[in-house]
Structures are given as structure tokens and as C-alpha cells.
Amino acid sequence: MGDMMKYGYVRELNAILLDKYNENEYGLTFVDYYMFQITSFGLSLFRELNLDNQRISLSQAFDVRCIIEALAVLRMYDKEEMPEYASDLLRSNQFICEYRTYKKYPKLHGITFDLEEMERNYNDAVSYYREKIGTDISSKDFKKIIKGKLPHLMEDYSYYSLISMYCPEFVDTYQHLSVILHPSEIVTNFCYLEIESVIDILGKIFDAITELIEKYYPNIIPSYEHNWEYECEYCFGDGTNYSPLVIAGKPQLMLIKELTLKIHEDLKLPDGEVCLPEVFFGRVYEELESILYDKAFGFSEIIKSKVKPIFELFATFHYSLKQGEGSLILDLMQYYTIINYLKVKNEPFEDELNKSYEIYKKQFNSEITLDKYTDLITKNFMPVYLGYEDIKGFVFEMIDDLVIDILHQKDSCKMLYEESQCLSHGNGYVLSSNVGAFLDSDSACKSIDVLLLALFKEYAEIVKKNNLPKKLKYDIKSLLKKYEIIHTTILYEELTLKPLIKKLG
């Protein structure tokens, strides 16, 4: 089956499953939930690779990782090694996940959600889980399962353990993607993020998806509206089907691309050499383009899921800017990234480990032993290595630093990040997310824009205060003014959209 034919089958199935869910949620099977998730991420990935495949973006890496996780769970089901009540437990898990997210934001009760109703649904779901899991396990172990990433499997599985058992051919790629996607030193990550690292296994992934479709949905016939050429023409043909945010995103992309070029040119960087702001805004361009495609094709749940890696990229840039040029922390971030890449590639990293160990002791005035330091740098996420409790705290610090708290905007950004966490793994939750608060992708786009504007201003202020070329100072100031116009356009959508776009060229 050719690639374009595969797209038609996958797109048709995705639409059928969404319609099926909207008609009768309780008529869905376990495979339905997971196949919807796989097809959603698969379609997003397919579109990006066919529209622009020069480099692998963070969003593409994210799509691949989520698909691998979901494939592992489906293969477990296919081998009939799934708990008896997995389908019903999966359906109930949405209430557990939602309440655990929203109860932290009581100020938004009655504005964004009904917390009282969510609490009732949560209590019913927990009671149902206790009934099906039984009383043989302790309360402590039960809570551990409920709080786990895959409670419907009735065991505290990690995704890595499931992939090792059911998708061993993807284990190395999965580990590589995990290093790419979690916070790391941005320039070093950029140097390791090559399309060849992912593209080689995409054929196997699409073949695995096709195999499952042919087994569980043998009678799928793609409609004309769901073929690749028709959808591209519908979304990008004459522009009449663009949403306001898609239209506003076009000049936004152009400006971010211009910004990366100006940084490189004004700093007179040699060919092949890059700097942190240039790489960061280049990454931002790729992520915004990815969201633009998802928005154009109508995949709201995928946009929400991509908030997590985007916010973490933003937080890493903000943290790096706060350290200042020449900071030993920046050296530690670089060593962290190199060491963990070498680790997943099974290559030696003793020299890098010893050098970073000496820097760490000096920076943190620490007497940590080398053995404990080795565990710290190789078994934890970078924010934890640098002293944060977890990645969430790292991201929330950025939000607190950058967001003006008008109309609960800080809470909205934090809640959005936590919503994204619920959607960012192969947990079968994506289909349920198409209802309620998760359906609105506009809030995600606008929150990303708010943070991006704040980061742009933060960088512009650093350029203004430091001994940098006058041309760079002028260009950054000029581009920031243009970006603020686009920011206003995104907030007010269609009010002055077409005249502004024409004015900005």
C-alpha cells in the first residue's frame, strides 16, 4: 500500500472513530481508544514529513514517541495479555485524570470547568477501579496504580518496560527520543537532532499501524474527502478555509524565520556555527509550523498535547538567559545533554562525566561522591539535576517570571501544561480529550503566543543592555514591534486581520 493510500485509510479510520465516540462512547472497544490516538499522532507526523522534511522537529519526535508507546500497549492487547476489564477502566480513567488536573485550580471553577461534577465523577471512577482491582492489594499499592501513567492495566507499568516487552525493535529509538524531548541544553540538542535518527524507523512504524488497521478494521474504504491531495487543497488551496489563528500564524512564522536569519547575520557567525538565540527561535519556527498544520487540518487534541514539549523548550531558554553568558550552569547543561546522548548510544562518557563532576562540586559547593553524582546526572531529568523538584516546577517558574497575572492567566498557562501532560503519552486518553475543555486548541495557541512574546522581550532587553552589534540591536527592536502587532492580531482574531497581514507583507 503506497504512502498516500495509507494516509487515506488512516484518516478515514480516525474520522470513523471520532464519530463513533460522539454517537456512543460506551460502544467503543479498547482498540478503538488506542487506534484513535495512534492515527491522530500518525496523521500529524505524516503531514509534517510530507510538507517539510528537511529536519526532524521536536513535534515530529514527540509524535513518534507517543505512537511507539501506544503501539506497545496495543500489542499487549493483541497478545491477549490485557486485564479483563481494561476497556471499562480506560473509559473511567478520563475522570481520574481530569480531576487530578483541575482540582489544583479552584479559581477557574465555574469559569473553565465544573469542579464539583468532576469530583463526583472522580469518586465514582476510583470506586469502580477498587471494585475491579479487588481488595488483595494494599491501599498504598492501589493509590500507586491510580496515580500511574497506565492505571487501566492494573499494574504500575512504565512505558519503557512495555516497549521492551512488546516493541523491542523501537527501544533504542524510544530512548533517543526521550533525551531529545525532555529539557536539555538547546544548542547541543539541536546538533544531535538529525532526521536520519528517526526517519529510518518511520517505515516500520507506519507498517505496524497499517497491520493493526487491516486486522481490526478490514472494511475501511477511504472517502474522497479524506485523501491527501483533497485535504491539502481544502486546507491550503485558496485560503478560504483557514481559521483566524492559522491566518495570523503565517506572518508570525515569517517574522520568526527573519529573526533567526538576522541573529546569525548581525553576529557575523561563520557558516556552520550557531548560537543559543538563533537555535531557539529556529526551533520555535518549527514548532509553530507544526501547530499551524495541525490547526489547519483540525486536530485540536494534537495541538494541546504539543504544549508540553514547547513549554519545556521555552523554560529552558528562559533559564539559560537568566544564567548569563559564561555561567558554569550553562556548561553543566551542555555536559548533561552530551552525557545522556552518549549513554543511550552505549558510548563511553567518562571524560565528560569527570569534567562535569568537578564543575558541579564548584558551582554547588557540594561534596557529593562520584557514584552519587553519576546517578544524579544519568537517572534524572535536567531540571532535577540542577536542583528543581521536577520538570513541572521548572516550567512553572518560567510562567511565574514571565506571565502577567490578569484574569488568572498564570493559572491558565499552568493548567494548560498539565492538560498537555495528560495527552503526551500513549495512554489511550486522546479520544476522550475531544470533549469539554480539551477541545479548545485556541487557548493553547494564545498561551504559546503570550509566552513567546515575553521571551522575545526578555531577549531584546538582554541585547539592548549588552555589548552587541548595533545592527542586531536595531533589528531586534524593529522585529519586536512587528511581533507585537501580530500578537494583537492573534488576541483579537478577525477584527483587523486581513489589513494587518497585507501591511506586514
Residue identified by cell 524507523 is 201
Q: Where are the beta strands (DSSP E) in 22-121?
A: none
Confidence band (pLDDT; 50, 70, 90) for 353? very high
Q: Which of 27-31, 38-42, 45-49, 79-83 has the lowest mean pLDDT?
A: 45-49
Q: If we measure between CA atoms, which residue out of 288, 299, 316 comes closest to residue 449?
A: 288
Which class for 245: exposed (0-12), middle (13-18), buried (19 or more C-beta within 10 A)? Answer: buried
- What pLDDT sits at residue 336? 97
Give me the amino acid identity at 286. Answer: E
Residue 109's DSSP bridge partners are: 113
For residue 487, pLDDT over 50 is answered with yes
Q: What is the number of residues in the chain?
A: 505
User: Between the ranges 339-348, 415-424, 487-496, where is the mean pLDDT highest?
Assistant: 339-348
**pLDDT of 167 over the 90 cut:** yes
* Alpha-carbon span 451 to 439, nearest angstrom: 21
pTM: 0.91
Q: What are phi and psi of 213, to 5 degrees?
A: -60, -45
36, 430 in Cβ contact below 8 A?
A: yes
Which of 58-67, 234-243, 496-505: highest mean pLDDT?
A: 58-67
Confidence band of 462 (pLDDT split at 50, 70, 90): very high
Compute the average pLDDT of residues 329-358. Answer: 95
Q: pLDDT band at residue 239, thresholds of 50, 70 and 90?
A: low
pLDDT reported for residue 502:
45
